[in-house]
Amino acid sequence: MIQPDLTNPTLEFLEVDPAIAEQYGKADSISYLMNSIADFLHVSENFITLPLMFLFNFLITWVIVYFIYYRISRRRDYYVTFMLFSSAMFLLLWLMQILDIQTGFVLGLFAIFGMIRYRTETVPIREMTYLFIITSISVINSLSLKADDLAWYQLLLANLLFIILTASFDLWSNRKRTSSKIILYEKIENIVPERRAELLEDLRQRTGLDIQKIEIGHIDFLRDVAYIKVTYPLKKGENNTIDMKTRFS
């Protein structure tokens, strides 16, 4: 009788129960983690999964919106919008899985909403970028349980990467924040290049701003006026929401 070689590291002679192998293979999955928490609390998995995943998504969104976006812009309107938008997207996609609705249908609803509502007002590119970020986070978190091969630490790492990348680039780009205004200037004789220093000093005195850069735009010789774009630094915590507005309709 041939004895098995116990020194063989592969141990090919051993037979592994496929059910046990599958269980251990999914031991680090999100579904397995939620099931373990549900067993510990003696409740059903469906009862514990939605609140925990919702709080997780809400926490990640809040960290990005409050500690990164709001600390710089101080825009309460977008703060509320981002938080509600993220929560609504998460719940819609979550319920979509139960009602067996295609993902494209829900995303299409938000696309229609964006075209109808956000086209009525010029949304800055920074706010649109944050809207895309929190939408992506909500989609990833809400659909995470559909992926059997996605481990909980992979989902956590993906969310942390969103936070790290957003904080790194946004905080770095806003170290020296500036704003711009469009000024209708009547001393048209000062717009020539030879009198640029006089123009800059006149604008600084009349506006009280530490103007760093000026750009001359449309010139109207019939009325002797010109549109000038001035750029000036913003103080910490200061925000200008009507930078480029010249008149109210």
- d(CA 58, CA 30) in angstroms, rounded, equals 17
In residues, how long is the chain?
249
Q: Which two tokens stand for residue 75?
A: 């825009």
Position 58 scores a pLDDT of 96
Give me the pLDDT at residue 13, please.
40
| Average pLDDT per block of 10 residues along the chain, 249 residues long | 50 45 54 64 63 91 93 84 90 75 60 56 79 89 75 88 91 75 92 92 92 92 92 74 59
CA distances from 154 to 110, 157, 229 (A): 27, 5, 47
Question: Looking at residue 3, what is its pLDDT?
Answer: 52
At residue 16, the pLDDT reads 41
Cβ neighbour number for residue 140 with a 10 Å cutoff: 19
DSSP, residue by residue, 57-82: HHHHHHHHIIIIIIHHH--HHHHHHH
Give the helix ranges, DSSP H, for 45-195.
45-64, 71-73, 76-99, 103-117, 125-142, 152-173
Q: Are 198 and 96 in contact (CB under 8 A)?
A: no
| pLDDT for res 150 | 74
Per the structure block, which two tokens stand in for 108? 């299409």
User: Residue by residue, what is the 3-state secondary structure of 78-95?
Assistant: HHHHHHHHHHHHHHHHHH
